[in-house]
Structure 1
Amino acid sequence: MEIVWENTVIAIIAIGILYFLLNKYAFGPLFSVMEKRQELVQSQLNEAAQTREQAAVFIEEQKAALQEARKEAYEIIEQSKQTSSKQAAELLDHAKDEATRLKDEAVRDIQSEKNKAVEQLRSEVGAVSVKIASKLIEKEVSEDKVQGELVDQYLKEVGGRS
């Protein structure tokens, strides 16, 4: 096989012209589109990384907010427990004070009624004693036995009244 130099030169010139035309009209726009696509992919990757970082920061903020909310809820529960314990103690103290006051009033009322009863009994005994004395004087009984019977009779009368 023989190499024809003319054909080779023509082929090289054709390839050169083809390369020049492809470079001017095809490769430039193609590479430009590929560079734009590469920039788009790179920007999307950067945005994804930023979004991932923002999501991580947001998750940490949410965790902190949740922890704070739990802490506040615990504090509210503890405060409610303390308040209810305090109120229960106050109610218990109030009830004890009220019971003591009622007991003291009852003791005073009982003492007052007792004093009234004793006073009434004294006045009745005094009245009965006067009656007995007047009856004894009226009868002028000289015998001890008759006087004892009269006293017993009047004491039975007094006992029957109460």
Structure 2
Amino acid sequence: MHFVWTSTIVTLVSFLVLYFLLNRYAFGPLMSVMEKRRELVLSQLNEAAETRSEAAAYVEQQKEALQQARQEAYEILEQSRQTSGKQADALIAQAKEETARMKDEAIRDIDSEKNKAMAALRGEVGRVSVQIASKLIEKEIDEKANEGLVDQYLKDVGTKS
């Protein structure tokens, strides 16, 4: 092979001119676009990492809020159970008091009616005794007639009541 110096120099000069032109007009803008793209990708990666960490923090926050809500719901249920138990106890106590009051009142009413009946009976017995005595005095008869008269009046008193 034969080596031509002029062709090599022309090729070398052409290459250098082409390199200079490409470096100035093509590689510079191309490298700046690629650098901008690299920075954009890095910023998006950073934003994604931040968003991921914010999402994880938000999830933790939601878990805590859910746990707190469950705890509050449990406390409300427990408080409701206690309140309903107290109300039931109060109603039972009130019913017992009312029952005792009604029983005492009934006993008083029974005693009162019993006393009235006893007083009426005493009055009636006294009246009958007076009537019997007055009849006996009016009729001064023998003992058999006396017993018959008492029996008759007792029968009369029994049919009146």
| TM-score of the aligned structures, taking structure 1 as reference length | 0.97
- 1:22-61 paired onto structure 2 within 5 Å: 22-61=22-61
Superposition deviation, residue 108 in structure 1: 0.3
Query: Could you say which residue in structure 2 is the equivalent of 1:154?
Result: 153
Query: Could you say which residue in structure 1 is the equivalent of 2:14?
Result: 14
Q: In 1, distance between residues paired with 2:151 and 2:121?
A: 18
- % identical aligned pairs: 65
Query: Could you say which residue in structure 2 is the equivalent of 1:103?
Result: 103
The number of residue pairs the alignment matches comes to 161
80-89 or 41-50, which deviates more: 80-89
Superposition deviation, residue 19 in structure 1: 0.8
Superposition deviation, residue 44 in structure 1: 0.2
Q: In 2, distance between residues paired with 1:106 and 1:3?
A: 143
Q: In 1, distance between residues paired with 2:34 and 2:116?
A: 119
Q: In 2, distance between residues paired with 1:19 and 1:159?
A: 150
**Letter matched to residue 152 of structure 1:** D
Deviations 1:33-84 (A, max 9, x none): 0000000000000000000000000000001001111111111111111111
Deviations 1:86-106 (A, max 9, x none): 111111111111111111101
Aligned-residue RMSD, C-alpha: 0.8
Q: In 1, distance between residues paired with 2:71 and 2:48?
A: 34
**Letter matched to residue 158 of structure 2:** G
| TM-score of the aligned structures, taking structure 2 as reference length | 0.97
Query: Could you say which residue in structure 2 is the equivalent of 1:81?
Result: 81
Could you list the structure 1 runs, at least 4 aligned residues long, displaced by more than 2 angstroms after superposition.
none
Deviations 1:117-143 (A, max 9, x none): 0001000000000100110111011x2
Structure 1: tracts of 5 or more residues without a match = none
Structure 2: tracts of 5 or more residues without a match = none
Superposition deviation, residue 157 in structure 1: 1.0
Q: In 2, distance between residues paired with 1:146 and 1:36?
A: 147
Q: In 1, distance between residues paired with 2:137 and 2:155?
A: 19
